[in-house]
Amino acid sequence: MTRSAAVFRVPGAVLDTELSDEGGHPVVQLHGLTSSRLRDRLLALDLGRGLSGTRLLRYDARGHGRSTGRTVPQDYVWSNLAEDLLALLDHFFPGEKVHGVGPSMGCATLLHAAVKDPERFSGLTLMVPPTAWETRVAKAGIYRAQADLVEREGLAGFLDAGRAAAPVPAQAAAPATIPQIDPDLMPSVLRGAALANFPERDDVAKIDVPSTILAWTDDPAHPLSTAEALVQLMPDATLRVAATPTQLRQWPQVLARDVAASASRVTAHL
């Protein structure tokens, strides 16, 4: 296996990337809001650790982890993050169908990218879909309030406010972590999240690639209702729900099966 790190420039940011190349089918892995590829590993959301024989691209979204960003909220809406993703795929995997995987913000980014470029993806593994459509309205208000809080009290105030929240049952064994965002960028990132929403339902219904929706229970920020709506809308989607850390630990194997199936379909059409 060869592993290479590089930076990739997009309008308004420099993205930090990592390619693990064992040959085989191309895969891109995204992360969630306020996270990074390193933090997702700590939270047991790095499903790519279970892969072998692939070309796996991981990267930190603009404003997150080791990537840079601007204090421009519109930069962080999901449709713009999808433009970043498609530019990365054109660079690393030109002309190839790619399997996409990612949680929350990463899930939403993949949906927007699949709507923008339907031929780009061989399959999707969409993890913990966030609030969307009508349920996004209340969550947007929370993000705006959090942005104001960070401006008033800094990251410490944000962390203090979050300590009272009960952990998601499937993540009960996860270690404590902190956001992987420059505090100066965090208000803009949160306001960008408040502006973001899924593509229109009719557009999601046109994403006709095999997709697995991985959801978990008892998380108002990632309600089962969104996952269930995706399964109803998308022509070839299945749902799997985790309620315990043991069930969450099975997700890397789910991704491995999804990627193997993607690779087989692409090979069959050559």
pLDDT value for 50:
81
Amino acid at 150: V
Model confidence over 127-155: pLDDT tens digits?
A: 999 999 999 999 999 999 999 999 999 99
Question: Comparing C-alpha atoms, which of 193, 234, 240, 191 is closest to residue 213?
Answer: 240
Residue 96's contacts (CB-CB under 8 Å, 6 or more residues apart) are 26, 89
Residue 164 confidence class, pLDDT cut points 50, 70, 90? confident
User: Which residue is it, tokens 């059409």?
Assistant: 269
Residue 270 confidence class, pLDDT cut points 50, 70, 90? low
Question: Comparing C-alpha atoms, which of 128, 114, 91, 110 is closest to residue 9?
Answer: 91
Record the tokens describing residue 59, joined without a space: 């990267």
Model confidence over 216-267: pLDDT tens digits?
A: 999 999 999 999 999 999 999 999 999 999 999 999 999 999 999 999 988 8
CB neighbourhood size of 246 (10 A): 10
Asked whether residue 55 carries a pLDDT value surpassing 90, the answer given is yes
Model confidence over 88-134: pLDDT tens digits?
A: 999 999 999 999 999 999 999 999 999 999 999 999 999 999 999 99
What structural domains does the chain harbor?
2-268 (3.40.50.1820)
Model confidence over 23-47: pLDDT tens digits?
A: 999 999 999 999 999 999 999 999 9
What's the rounded mean pLDDT across residues 72-77? 98
* Average model confidence (pLDDT) across the chain: 95
The number of helix segments (H) and strand segments (E) in the chain equals 9, 8
